[in-house]
Amino acid sequence: MASGAAVLNPRRYLMDDRRFVGVIFLAPALLYILLLVGLPFLLAIAFGFSDVTVGNTELNFVGFDNFVAVWENDIFRQVFSNTVMFTLISQVFILIFANILAIIFTQEFTGKWFARFIFILPWATPVSLAAIGWLWMFDTKYSPIDYLLLQTGFLGPKGILSNSRNLFWLANPALSQISVIFVQVWRMTPLATVILMAGLSSIPTDILDQAEVDGSRFMRTLLQIKLPLILPIMVIALLFSMITMFGDMTVVYVLTRGGPVDYTRIIGLYSFQIGIEGGNLAQGAAMALFAFPLLLALALLMLRTASRAEVR
């Protein structure tokens, strides 16, 4: 009788409380977000509404003056447009390449693990190091790419592309933009691929088996089964990639510092140049915040799309 009572009323431990355990598990992530994302973000807002400089962080409220000044700055409008353009064009290529690679890497073939390892390297390499590597590749005078083009007759006195020995990758307006987009696609594609691979692996095999039994071929299975099923995950991959790219300044800082003229200058870089190098911390902060409403709206839209597309 006594033992039966013990079974009916088991002793409760703190760790048995699902809500408590939930809070404990979430706490590190929440703390990280609050301290390293939330606080700096609030600080940036405070700076944006003040006249703070690098030498004086006393906050004197100046209303929307900094935001108006940023908006009236002609250079900023080009910088904003560059940022949006680089991000959108990169995402198109990232999406295409990531899908192709995810499909390849979920097939069975010899050396798959080695290929995966090599492929993930651009993402695992520190961004500044990777950018320096590409700076050498695109060097205006000693670019190995130019050397190969020269040897194959594409460059040089009778060259198909140019009669010069160099293409001046980072000095030509169009080529410098292409170079920046190329490096961003190169370094962001692995992450998107890994996310999509996880999505593809999670598709129940019975659905794919059924499709095969029904005579569905590769393209039909891909377009009508696989892609719709991984759409929510694809949107998440895209969101990650877009937000990372929108806020990044390292690639451009190392490759071009925004040049030639303002062709590759983006919000993150311009904000740094004004706020830190130029000393006008308030205006630099206000400029950085201009991206926030756009990114927030984009994130909400994409998460909503992902949620609707989710298979229940």
Partner 1 sequence: MKHLIRTLMVLVVFAALTFSAGAQGGYAEGTEISLLQWSHFVPRYDEWFDAYAAEWGEANGVGVTVDHVNFTEIFSTLAAEIDAGEGHSIVEVLFSPASFIDGLHDLGDLNAKASEMFGERASTCQAASYLPVVDTYYAYTHGYVPDPGDYDIALWTEAGYPDGPKTYDDLLEGGRAIFEATGIPVGIGMSPELDSRMANRAAIWSFGGSVQDENENVVLNSEETIAAVKYLAQLQNEAMTDEVFGWTAASNNQALIAGEVSYILNSNSAYRSLQKIDEAAAANIGFTSALEGPAGAYASSHVWQIYVIPEYVEGDELAAAKQFILDHSANYSDVTYYSELYNFPCHASTVPELDGWLEEDPWGSQPPNKFEVLKTVNDWSVHLGFPGVTNPAISQVFAESIIPNMVAQVALGEMNAEDAVAQAHERIEEIFADWRARGMVGGG
Residue 275-294 contact track with partner 1, rule CB under 8 A, x = bound: -xxxxxx-x-----------
Distance CA 107, CA 103 (A): 7
Helix (H, G, I), strand (E, B) or coil at 50: strand
Counting contacts by CB under 8 A, is residue 40 touching partner 1? Answer: no
Nearest to partner 1 of 74, 214 (CB atom): 74
Nearest to partner 1 of 247, 305 (CB atom): 247
Counting contacts by CB under 8 A, is residue 143 touching partner 1? Answer: no
Judged by CB under 8 A, the residue of 45, 46, 59, 75 near partner 1 is 75
Nearest to 178 by CA among 89, 274, 108: 89
Counting contacts by CB under 8 A, is residue 73 touching partner 1? Answer: yes
- DSSP readout, 191-220? HHHHHHHHHHHTS-HHHHHHHHHTT--HHH
At closest approach, how far in Å is the CB of 65 from partner 1? Answer: 9
Contact of 271 with 284, CB cutoff 8 Å: yes
Q: Segment contacting partner 1 (CB under 8 A): 102-110, 121-129, 216-224, 258-266?
A: 258-266
Which residues are registered as beta bridge partners of 50? 61
Counting contacts by CB under 8 A, is residue 178 touching partner 1? Answer: no
Counting contacts by CB under 8 A, is residue 55 touching partner 1? Answer: yes
Distance CA 258, CA 111 (A): 40
Nearest to partner 1 of 168, 240 (CB atom): 168
Counting contacts by CB under 8 A, is residue 208 touching partner 1? Answer: no
Could you give the residue ranges of the DSSP H alpha helices within the chain?
2-8, 18-33, 39-48, 65-72, 74-105, 112-124, 127-137, 144-151, 173-201, 205-213, 218-221, 227-247, 250-255, 267-272, 281-289, 291-309
Instruction: State the residues that interact with partner 1 by CB under 8 A.
Output: 51, 53-57, 69, 72-75, 140-142, 164, 166, 168-173, 176, 256-262, 265, 270, 273-274, 276-281, 283
